[in-house]
Structure 1
């Protein structure tokens, strides 16, 4: 099947009409010295997209954003799909490209990029964060710009939410924010400093995520022997009271309810973090 250019977006992206449907075709130099109705060389085609709902927005991005930003975003997406061994939702081509270009411009203008969820993202989405670190190196090589780790975490979150089985960006942010707030609440209640690089911290964050997922999905929690539960409540009275207070915060602010056995497991994680 011959593909002819219907519209040129930039040097590396064109629109074709395939049986009346607009498709975006991308590849290095695919539109160089080309015009409407020219045939696209098959060897230059790297990606073909059908953006049913946001086709015009993607075309607008491809027309207006710097080509090097678009190329970097596409390389990150391709690398992520190879590393995760799974395709990402097509929306990532809009969301990540738009976000990344804006972030690069802000960094060039001297703005500080911050991400309060940096440590939680590093723990919860390790593979995606490693992909973000790869992206950091790519941006340094291509543009001579050092993006901060806070931006690496933003990239990781975009990649995570583009996975086919992942929750939406809003749900992911809400869950990650709740975990951050519960831990901040714990630190203030117990007046302790936590090494957020420690294994104990990472285990607590991971445990909270799995607990929240089980609540979200209506899954059963692990049971606990009543004597063991009573022992934990007595032996680690201060830590258990903290876990209860954290749970009350989650219920008040987010309508999420933790079962008492789950609070016992959270107590054990808190206890490990308080050991000097």
Structure 2
């Protein structure tokens, strides 16, 4: 592989098999020039990003090397932890996002994430990776990122999973859950405990129901006698479930069948009982 361009001491652009590739490795570009052969034993990562190559190259030239290295370490750790390759776009998206977040923190700006609780519940494994990243950033850069930023990192990682939805869809799911919790809290005049088992069960059920509606998969069914009993015994929780149904239909075009409302009523009642 011959060098076409040196981006920094650790990153070069090469020509290999008639393809332009970005190669990373410690010191791989040090004192190198166009046309030089690279040492294969120094190669740690190779990227073929097609139309995104120019954008990635620009980032690698303009962002601090320390930020790039930390982002790449987080991505590698995430792929091992999740056991799946991440979409190559994360090398641009996460690196760019993380560097900007670090700069804001260094300047004293506050990072907020209004969907943090929902992200923690919906994407637990990705959030754990974000927690690992928080420790790494403190260790490598001596920057203390807040938990809100862990949530942003988790979203990027989840979105980059090959079979996952877009960032827009990922955020939408978390927003829906947040709105549902607000409806429950306002209706029952309670404060939901985000660490409770009843909350975890509710969000797992809602997540399944939304995905089923969007993909056309079958939802849970319930017999008429049980439905009538739930509506009678847990009347207030059922009214709350009706409010949730109306909200989702109005705001997102999602329509839950009556059988689904029965299950939501039970989850709402469990939240109330366990306060």
| Range of TM-score over shorter length | over 0.9
**Structure 2 match to 1:80:** 78
The answer to whether 1:177 aligns with 2:169 is no
**Structure 2 match to 1:54:** 52
**Structure 1 match to 2:161:** 163
SS where residue 53 of structure 1 aligns?
Answer: helix
Distance 2:267 2:240 in 1: 11
Q: What does residue range 132-147 of structure 1 map to in structure 2 within 5 Å? A: 132-147=130-145
Distance 1:28 1:226 in 2: 66
Distance 2:221 2:208 in 1: 15
**Structure 1 match to 2:28:** 30
- Give runs of ≥4 in structure 1 deviating > 3 Å: none
The answer to whether the 8 Å contact 2:181/2:192 transfers is: no
Shift of 1:36: 1.1
SS where residue 190 of structure 2 aligns?
Answer: coil
- For structure 1, which segment, 227-236 or 179-188, has the greater mean C-alpha deviation from structure 2 after superposition? 179-188
Shift of 1:30: 0.9
**Structure 1 match to 2:224:** 226
Distance 2:7 2:228 in 1: 67
SS where residue 54 of structure 1 aligns?
Answer: helix
The answer to whether the 8 Å contact 2:185/2:192 transfers is: yes
Shift of 1:17: 1.4
2:88 pairs with 82, 87, 90, which one?
A: 90
Shift of 1:21: 2.1
Shift of 1:97: 0.2
* Partner deviation per Cα, 1:191-228 (whole Å, 9 max, x = no partner): 11111111111111111111111111101112111100
**Structure 2 match to 1:149:** 147
1:244 pairs with 242, 253, 270, which one?
A: 242
- Report the RMSD for the aligned CA atoms in angstroms: 0.9
Distance 2:78 2:188 in 1: 40
Shift of 1:267: 0.6
**Structure 1 match to 2:63:** 65
SS where residue 122 of structure 1 aligns?
Answer: helix
* Partner deviation per Cα, 1:167-199 (whole Å, 9 max, x = no partner): 010111111111111111221122111111111
Q: What does residue range 104-115 of structure 1 map to in structure 2 within 5 Å? A: 104-115=102-113
